[in-house]
Amino acid sequence: MSVLPGMRYPAWRGLIEHYRDCLPVTDDTPVVTLHEGATPLLPALKLSAALGGGVEVHLKCEGLNPTSSFKDRGMTLAVSKAVEEGARAVICASTGNTSASAAAYAARAGIRSVVLVPNGEIALGKLAQGMMHRAMVLAVEGNFDTALELVRRISDAHPIALVNSVNPYRIEGQKTAAFEICDQLGRAPDYQAMPVGNAGNITAYWKGYQEYLKGGIVKAAPAMMGFQAAGAAPIVDGTPVSDPTTLATAIKIGNPASWVTAVAARDESGGLIERITDRQILDAYSLLAATEGVFVEPASAISVAGVIALNERGHFRPGDCIVCILTGHGLKDPDRAIAEAPEPKVVPADVDAIVGEILS
């Protein structure tokens, strides 16, 4: 690649370069990157204080990845490997974020992308992303589980690379988030809280923590705490949900592909997977934005809602370090934000009227 004279790139050149030794790439792998990763780990000062009991909560802000969700971690690797293997197109089923990320990385790589989304069921920002990156966006008359089944059949029969998290490179890329948390904290947290949808991400984090543990980089791994929406909680129920419902559309999934590895992560880590109501999700969603200054999409707020619920049951001890994974940015779902927050008040263009409003 030619670089303009005098132009300097920042030290961070994406997670493949940073964690190259821990990833299945070679010097021949064409790295397709938008410089994803290196997301902030923020102390949640107000939340920690509100929970009481001396717990320390941190927020891993994955919505600050290039397409505003954690999917970019897996997609940089999945698309790089697809290009290395000669693919000219990628395909995925998605509740929105995977499709946005696949479309962006395919655009970057100069290959085609085809994304299947449940018709009318994905948040507006995510739909806009797929369209702008010029994916072929197909709105399927069916839910996510049906769409995933369709893309599996299509990629089995045709030369088009599947980039859902059933693709092992997705998991490899996403495990780097666990590395980052350990690198940022200087240790592993005691607990990690996260949403569970298709269950690839909990699988990936657990793999990452185990690798750091085996490599002697950390001395312990966290208890993995996964949360599913009450109307879409197949792992909690122990049986698939044929018609999942939740306003957290990102995790509206009734039959997760990585079910077995999610249960393994839960059990091997001494963790749990529990259900959280939409009401609890919305309360945490508003709380994060209003008191921490962190705007996430509803599915991401389930991490915090879960910690609040467990704290009320006396689950934590003083000094416990808890990391909440905030998987996607709030701007992904502007409709939900506008439905939840107070409307702007229309005022005349007049100083006295405006001051009157401010003082009222």
Q: Which residues bind ligand F0G (CB under 6 A)?
A: 69, 71, 94-98, 165, 195-201, 250-251, 297, 299-300, 327-328
- What DSSP state is assigned to residue 352? H
- Residue 88 CB, shortest distance to ligand F0G, in Å, is 22
- Residue 320 CB, shortest distance to ligand F0G, in Å, is 23
- Residue 131 CB, shortest distance to ligand F0G, in Å, is 15
- Residue 305 CB, shortest distance to ligand F0G, in Å, is 13
Q: How far apart are CA 105 and CA 87, in angstroms?
A: 13
Strand partners, 114: 91, 136
Q: How far apart are CA 341 and CA 38, in angstroms?
A: 30
Q: 127 vs 188, which CB is nearer to ligand F0G?
A: 127
Tokens representing residue 291 in the block: 């008191």
Could you please report the per-residue DSSP string of 220-272?
--PEEEEEEEGGG-HHHHTS--SS---S-GGG--SS-TTHHHHHHHHHHTT-E
Q: 113 vs 327, which CB is nearer to ligand F0G?
A: 327
- What DSSP state is assigned to residue 296? B
Q: Which residues contact 254 (CB under 8 A, 6 or more apart)?
A: 143, 144, 145, 232, 234, 240, 241, 242, 243, 244
- Residue 331 CB, shortest distance to ligand F0G, in Å, is 12
Could you please report the per-residue DSSP string of 162-214?
E-STTSHHHHHHHTHHHHHHHHHHTS--SEEEEE-SSSHHHHHHHHHHHHHHH
Tokens representing residue 295 in the block: 């705007």
- Residue 165 CB, shortest distance to ligand F0G, in Å, is 6
Q: 94 vs 255, which CB is nearer to ligand F0G?
A: 94
Q: How far apart are CA 97 and CA 100, in angstroms?
A: 5
78: enclosing H helix or E strand? helix 71-84
Q: 76 vs 165, which CB is nearer to ligand F0G?
A: 165
Q: 33 vs 94, which CB is nearer to ligand F0G?
A: 94
- Residue 84 CB, shortest distance to ligand F0G, in Å, is 24
Q: 113 vs 198, which CB is nearer to ligand F0G?
A: 198
Q: 121 vs 283, which CB is nearer to ligand F0G?
A: 121
